[in-house]
Amino acid sequence: MLTLPSSVKDWADIVYGLIQTAAIIGGGLIALYEYHRFRKYSPKIEFDVDFVLHGLSGNPGIRLVDIAIRVKNMSQVRNYFPTIDVGVRGLRAEDVQAALKDSKRLRFGRELIPKHNIVAKPEDPWWVDGGVTQIFPYPVVIKEAPDVVQVNAEFQYYRDKGGKKRVAYHQASCIKPTEKPKE
């Protein structure tokens, strides 16, 4: 048979216990909500590419393309990059004519540097710790620079160093005109 508490102190102990239990459960639910809302330990990457063209003295037509790949890791986990592919393309006159004729996207048809992986050893990938912004410089030289140059970069990043669990894939591109050398 069920017996009810007989004193006010017994009732207060029961109510206090219920409040403690509700606070613990409520706190756990709020923590779970915040964990999922902010994805605290999930990979979050901001990625962009920029470059500067430099003329080389004594070598007209040859340009140094100083590429800077910026990776900002906005999560709290380290991310590994076994592949960062970079390529450089130029704009041809026929690319412009084709885009005008078809009213479609302008495509850079002249491949100045084929897309290739700039990470020396994919088995020993580059990485960026959580909360860190890392700039990966990559200078290349091109011959006979066209009027407009496009640098494309793409990468996949992984949760582990072995590259077994791919998290995401990103692409970035930057387009700039070529300054003609002063004579």
Expressed in percent and rounded to 5, the helix, strand and coil fractions of the chain are 20, 45, 30
- How is domain 45-177 classified at the architecture level of CATH? Sandwich (2.60)
Distance (Å, rounded) from C-alpha 139 to C-alpha 161?
26
Quick one: how far is CA 38 from the chain centroid?
A: 18
Q: What pLDDT was estimated at residue 158?
A: 75
Question: Given this model, what pLDDT does residue 1 score?
Answer: 64
Q: For the chain, which ranges sit under pLDDT 70?
A: 1, 38-42, 159-164, 166, 180-183
* pLDDT confidence of residue 7: 84
pTM here?
Answer: 0.72
What pLDDT is attached to residue 140?
95
pLDDT at 21: 94
User: Which residues, in sequence order, are CB contacts of 51 under 8 Å at separation 6+?
Assistant: 65, 66, 67, 68, 149, 151, 174, 176
pLDDT at position 14: 87
